[in-house]
Amino acid sequence: MPVLVVEDDPQMAGLLKRGLTEEGYDVTVAADGVQGLLAATRTPPGIAVLDVMLPGMSGFELCRRLRETQPSIMVLMLTARDDVDDRVRGLDAGADDYLVKPFAFSELAARLRALRRRDSPSTPSVLVVGDITIHTVSHDVSVEGVPVHLSPKEYQLLFLLGTHFEQTVSRTSIMTEIWGTVAHADLNIVDQYVSYLRRKLDVIPAQTRVVTERGVGFRLTASP
């Protein structure tokens, strides 16, 4: 699978290129956001590994632009700052996972394998849960035919809860399935995204809702 690495630190870029090549990936390296965007246009990657702090164009902006042109791309962002607001910003930009430096290469490789498993086409093209319809290919969501515009992580949260309809999913499970790990993570980010999702579903309003199982997790359920 082609992988685009955008990293302005030559030593880190070299380590990633060597390691990912040994893992069997076809690796292209770019030193800044503009070069990364051009490289992705020439050879569309299946996975992008993006540093947050890039010259010319931030990793956040590059992630957004890649998502616009290649919606199916898998994005792993790298940062030296372990800050919840930064993680939320990156995930809202369309990142699938977030890895804090310094990290072991084995963890990065495992994160990429997890992304590829989540991307496997083993789900139906349309998932209907109560009055919510989820299109798993286009990632469109509607309630009784009314479109609901979700961020990538909000969509993944709804999809995860929808595939476990009427079952409680723990915060830890949500964190692992959507963000890849609970290491260096604040589980409050799960509550933040549940709140975002509820607000958007309440606008319609949806009869199917997300309920909190105190001390356990969350469940998607149909209102009586």
The beta strand positions in the chain, using DSSP E, are 2-6, 26-30, 47-51, 74-79, 97-100, 126-129, 132-135, 141-143, 146-148, 168-170, 208-213, 217-222
Residue-wise pLDDT tens for the chain (224 aa)? 789 999 999 999 999 999 999 888 889 999 999 999 999 988 889 899 999 999 989 999 999 999 888 888 899 999 887 777 777 888 888 888 888 888 899 999 998 988 887 765 555 678 899 999 999 878 899 998 899 999 988 999 999 999 889 999 888 888 877 876 655 557 788 999 999 999 999 888 888 999 999 888 999 998 76
pTM over 0.75: no
Q: What pLDDT, on the 0 to 100 scale, is given for residue 185? A: 58
Smallest Cα–Cα separation from 206: which of 195, 224, 222? 222
Tell the CATH topology of 2-118.
Rossmann fold (3.40.50)
Q: What class has domain 126-222? A: mainly alpha
What is the C-alpha to C-alpha distance for residues 75 and 36, in angstroms, rounded to an integer?
13
Q: What pLDDT, on the 0 to 100 scale, is given for residue 30? A: 96
Q: In the chain, what are the domain boundaries?
A: 2-118, 126-222
What is the C-alpha to C-alpha distance for residues 179 and 181, in angstroms, rounded to an integer?
6
**170, 125 Cβ separation under 8 angstroms:** no
